[in-house]
Amino acid sequence: MLLSLGEVEWDRAMGTGHLERLKRAVSLPAARGTDTSAVRPACYGGAGFTDEPKTAEKRGEAVLVDPERLHRGNFGGGSRHGRRGADDPARAAGRR
């Protein structure tokens, strides 16, 4: 199962073209039988994002990571040090 596929662009804002390219890229492993039903395209952008990627993120269709979010390590599932994110059900239930 493939969960994410991403692209990095540090010197210009990421936009519709980046998302479209990632969507096409997801179709390649899907054509070979890989389960891509849970894929969320990830855009790692140092110069920000245009409106389309922001809207896609609000709909839950993409993950946008700017330098601040990269530094915090907040991707919805905890940090690289194993701490659970605020939206983790175990943490919400008081279990760490």
In a domain, 26, yes or no: yes
* Domain assignment of residue 76, given as a range: 4-82
CB atoms within 10 A of CB 26: 18
CA–CA separation, 22 and 55 (whole Å)? 16
In a domain, 18, yes or no: yes
In a domain, 88, yes or no: no
pLDDT band at 84 (very low <50, low <70, confident <90, very high): very low
Looking at residue 59, its pLDDT comes to: 96
CA–CA separation, 27 and 12 (whole Å)? 26
Q: Give phi and psi for 79, each to the nearest 5.
A: -95, 175
In a domain, 11, yes or no: yes
Looking at residue 9, its pLDDT comes to: 94
In a domain, 39, yes or no: yes
In a domain, 92, yes or no: no
Number of domains in the chain: 1
In a domain, 56, yes or no: yes
Residues in the chain: 96
pLDDT band at 73 (very low <50, low <70, confident <90, very high): confident
Residues 28-64 pLDDT 10s = 999 999 999 999 999 999 999 999 999 999 999 999 9
